[in-house]
Structure 1
């Protein structure tokens, strides 16, 4: 069970959303479900502050700029249909910024149902669409879809194939540190059209949220090329990639890093294997840096 506590000295999704600069790399959650969802952004062990909760109605969005690990622990954006962060009906969008290795600095990311023991958590039975990176240049998804992936699932069976269900699953993906992640809950299709206004404030807060706006406004903002810009429409090859359910990877992609030098590739493979067995999960431990 995950405790819900006061936001004192803890991360607040309310503040992170208000302060997000979309010209910098970010994680974004878009609610396409026909129900409200409630989310918290936490580090492992901190609990979920009830006055740091953001509510997303249908069509609303949440974004936060990436923040580095704390005590070797990554960030988990916990999402629930209820206002209680109970640890039995939580979907998690997780990221871990690896910056300690000079030749191998990447964002490790995943979608997790490990805290969905009851089975009724957002974007599991009703699908999701996740896009990591701009999908151009060196940020194109690898053939195995483990690097800067586009993940599309439509029901519980297909979503379980591309997400963590058990802590020793191998579903961690990677992308460059300067590339953003968009997580569209409910429906496995690529996004089209505009979405709603700012997310709701928690009941304890009287000040309205102003930093999140319609997706169309993000397009108009035109972030610099060094950050991941939102695209109103997707090219045909991306749509084709999203149309099929992404298979769960069974082994390490032999060439997951497009257009990187051989030296970097060798370093990457060795370090990915090391992280898989030691740093992030060590199978059972591989998910440990995220879950609170």
Structure 2
């Protein structure tokens, strides 16, 4: 009786482990184009190899997809495993998932209750520990867009909601990606919206590299053509706050005035002219503690 019980437990454990294994090959071939998804576009001059895994599952060699230059990988979103573990799409130039030359596109789909549904996403170089490491996009940069960039899913002014991210080299990519595990680089978007990760080059699809570099500096988190106007950003933020009262606090205004040196008096026709300086205070609407619900540091559940 005891032996049967032990065997039953072992069989159950094996079945559970098998169920948790994600096959990038199957996910790519069975992706439903009518459902929200993560897409990876290889614009690099080299092939890349990728795996889609949950934390702790490792990278099964026989479930690897090789993405040649010009090809696209896609998979429909999967809900967080057990409500606490997200998906990491690991990308490497090597066919071995070694953990020291990996670029990761990560997402965490959370559906706790009506009105509180989010996709927490990021790009991570945690498994690519050096600016000089030979990881995909580490030297060449990337362009990422989440959401269709219209209405409620247009990028917020601080680029934390449905972001458009662009970088061209290690220095600029470090500013918008995870480099250390305790960085705070998680972005958020509606889980009903797809996201696209264009590897190699910070330009948007169809945009030349020269025009991209002139449109946005390398340190920019999003191309200037994609930035929301202040009125649009306020409307987007207000919509997010009203639909997720338990995760976003009430918006407030922060005043900021530029410090302008007082001009010297000018003498015209032997008369002194006094110049009056008027300081204008600019107001910008921002979100208070956007990730106050505890997912500001969402990278830990991803790290596999």
Q: TM-score, normalised by structure 1?
A: 0.73
Cα gap change, 1:262 to 1:45, in 2 (>3 Å)? closer
1:90-239 aligned within 5 A: 90-118=102-130, 119-192=133-206
Partner residue of 2:220? 246
Structure 2 alignment gaps of length 5 or more: 1-16, 223-232, 250-289
1:258, CA displacement in angstroms?
3.5
1:291, CA displacement in angstroms?
1.2
Partner residue of 2:257? none
What is the RMSD computed on CA atoms of the aligned residues? 2.7
1:256, CA displacement in angstroms?
9.1
Superposed CA offset, 1:49-90 (max 9, x none):
101000011111100000101121000000001001011000
Partner residue of 2:300? 288
Partner residue of 1:81? 93
Identify which range, 150-159 or 259-268, moves more after superposition: 259-268
Q: TM-score, normalised by structure 2?
A: 0.70
The question of whether the paired residues in 2 share the 8 Å contact of 1:142 and 1:256 is answered with no
The question of whether the paired residues in 1 share the 8 Å contact of 2:247 and 2:293 is answered with no
Residue 280 of structure 2 corresponds to residue 275 of structure 1: no
Cα gap change, 1:77 to 1:242, in 2 (>3 Å)? farther
Superposed CA offset, 1:16-38 (max 9, x none):
00000111100000000001100
Partner residue of 1:232? none
Superposed CA offset, 1:82-124 (max 9, x none):
0010110000000001101333211000000001125221011
Partner residue of 2:255? none
Cα gap change, 1:255 to 1:120, in 2 (>3 Å)? farther
Normalized per residue, which structure has more strand? 2
Ranges of 4+ aligned residues in structure 1 off by more than 4 Å:
239-242, 254-257
Cα gap change, 1:138 to 1:240, in 2 (>3 Å)? farther
Q: What secondary structure, in the 3-state scheme, does the structure 2 residue paired with 1:110 have?
A: strand
1:241, CA displacement in angstroms?
11
Tell me, in whole angstroms, the C-alpha distance in 2 between the residues paired with 1:155 and 1:256: 33
Tell me, in whole angstroms, the C-alpha distance in 1 between the residues paired with 2:145 and 2:127: 22
The question of whether the paired residues in 1 share the 8 Å contact of 2:93 and 2:136 is answered with yes
The higher-RCO structure (CA 8 Å, 6+ apart) is 1
Cα gap change, 1:156 to 1:176, in 2 (>3 Å)? same
